[in-house]
Amino acid sequence: MLYSSTIGIGPDLVLLHGWGFNSELFNDLIDRYKNQYRITMIDLPGHGRSDDVNGGLDEWCDEIIKNLPDNPILLGWSLGGLLAINIATKIKISKLILVASTPKFVQSEDWPYGIDENNFRQFSDALQLNLSKGLKRFVSLQTQDKAQLKALNQSIDKFPASTKALNQGLEILLTTDLLDEFNQSKIPTEVILGNHDTLVPYRISNWYDKAKIKTQVLNTGHLPFLHKDFML
């Protein structure tokens, strides 16, 4: 069973966080927008207060769908964006908002807008050996802002993700390719990126622009929704 909570008044907006974190990451965003949207925040499988779920991408998404309101706006950050793209192929949603996210996280010959697979796998292997060290390295990639870094670490410490879920999430990030599904989608979509992001290179904005996707690039890293200029 997944943890979810709902607050606010207005159109339904669902927030999906990224790998290793939990929905408390969105607390500031929720405070800003709870008078404009009815906001549902969900802890991903094995993250925060949610139970583990067996399987991978589809099993995670099927479990998340059980907690979604009808025809929501779906906002996904990082891994949450990848899940949101997949969910949008399964149910009706009114809008897709991808924050520091992409249909494919790992580079390939025909996809230069991702992370080098060898670097990613080294990170994954290091995680298996030392979970705490791996998490700290991941968090250090998120932001150079010391206050943000402290808040992120506190969020992880409060509700740590399970080792099983962290490994599943890494596998989803490493192996998922939703480029065809994304290109075929007719759902209104917006993308918000950070120009200092070390995980989702902001040059992917060129690809989104060619696909006629409304794209905004903020002067920030992998956490654009914490930036003062972030707007829904």
Return the structure tokens found at 51.
């139970």
Catalytic residue among 4, 101, 185, 222: 222
| 227 part of the active site | no
Active site annotation includes 197: yes
Active site residue 31: no
Rg (CA), the chain: 16
Of 43, 12, 49, residue with least CA distance to 169: 43
- The active-site residue out of 4, 23, 50, 78 is 78
Annotated active-site residue in 47, 185, 197, 205 = 197
* Both structure tokens of 177: 């390719």
- The catalytic residue positions are 78, 197, 222
